[in-house]
């Protein structure tokens, strides 16, 4: 459901790059913060135009020592 190919070439995964990645709630596309800044700084999906994005959390598990 996430658009990975655009124009025949595979797009890089924004989660691996530096910066914050957002996921569109409607279409599931992953949009980087740099891509949003290029579009004028507004919060809008660059694929479908929906205005609800959620921040992707890193897949790191925090361990807390219990005593």
Spatial contact of 22 and 36, defined as CB atoms under 8 Å apart: yes
State the pLDDT at residue 12.
52
Q: How far is Cα of residue 41 from the mean position of the Cα atoms in its chain?
A: 15
Q: What is the per-residue pLDDT across 13-65, written as a single tens digit (0 to 9) for each?
A: 544 456 889 999 999 999 998 988 888 878 889 889 899 999 998 888 888 89
Q: What does the alpha-carbon distance between residue 63 and residue 67 come to, in Å, rounded to a whole number? A: 13
State the pLDDT at residue 27.
94
Spatial contact of 34 and 27, defined as CB atoms under 8 Å apart: no
- The structural domains of the chain, with segments of one domain joined by +, span 14-55
């Amino acid at each position: 459901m996430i658009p990975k190919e655009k124009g025949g070439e595979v797009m890089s995964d924004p989660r691996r790059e530096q910066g914050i990645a957002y996921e569109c709630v409607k279409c599931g596309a992953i949009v980087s913060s740099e891509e949003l800044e290029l579009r004028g700084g507004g919060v809008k999906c660059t694929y479908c135009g929906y205005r609800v994005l959620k921040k992707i959390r890193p897949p790191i598990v925090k361990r807390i020592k219990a005593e």
